[in-house]
Amino acid sequence: MHTTPSMRLLCVSLTVALAMVVAGCSKPPDEVAKEARQSAASWAATLSAAAERWGNGEVSSSYFQTVVTQARTSLRKEAQTARKSAGDAAAAPVNAVALRAEAIANAVQRGDRAAAIEAGHAAASEVPAEKIPAVARPQ
């Protein structure tokens, strides 16, 4: 099977998201909350990209269903970890993306590519990327 750059991107995103879940053990609550947010953002971006690819016929339905299933499983575990270690507020971004993942799963089941893309975009907007301050360059 030939892998495209978009499929490789999805695989890398899945790997990063899973690594973030595993790394969330025995850490201070603020760090757990930050990692939960990062995991939610990573899964949201993955779901959005995968929905776009599926909507355009670039990846198969079975591949997309696998991505969505992995996301839902990982997000469920991440929310539990965040809630247990840092409280409901830490789990909130993860839960928001998990709700969008559920909508995507429902869209896939119906074969509704437009709804999956819309839910993927909504997932990505749930956890916008953090703004990193510009670094001053030496003159």
- 14 located within any domain: no
Residue 26 banded pLDDT, cuts 50, 70, 90? confident
> Does the CA dihedral 22-64-56-60 come out positive or negative?
positive
In the numeric block, the tokens 């760090």 are attached to: 31
Is 62 part of any domain? yes
Number of domains, the chain:
1
Q: How confident is the model at residue 24 (pLDDT cuts 50, 70, 90)?
A: very low
The whole-number pLDDT of residue 42 equals 95
Taking the complete model, does pTM exceed 0.85, yes or no? Answer: no
Each residue of 76-90: pLDDT tens digit? 999 999 999 999 999
Domain of residue 60 covers: 29-126
Asked whether residue 12 is domain-assigned, the answer is no
Q: Spell out the residues 6+ positions from residue 137 whose beta carbon is closer than 8 angstroms to its own.
A: none
Residue 99 lies in a domain: yes
What is the per-residue pLDDT across 96-105, written as a single tens digit (0 to 9) for each? 999 999 999 9
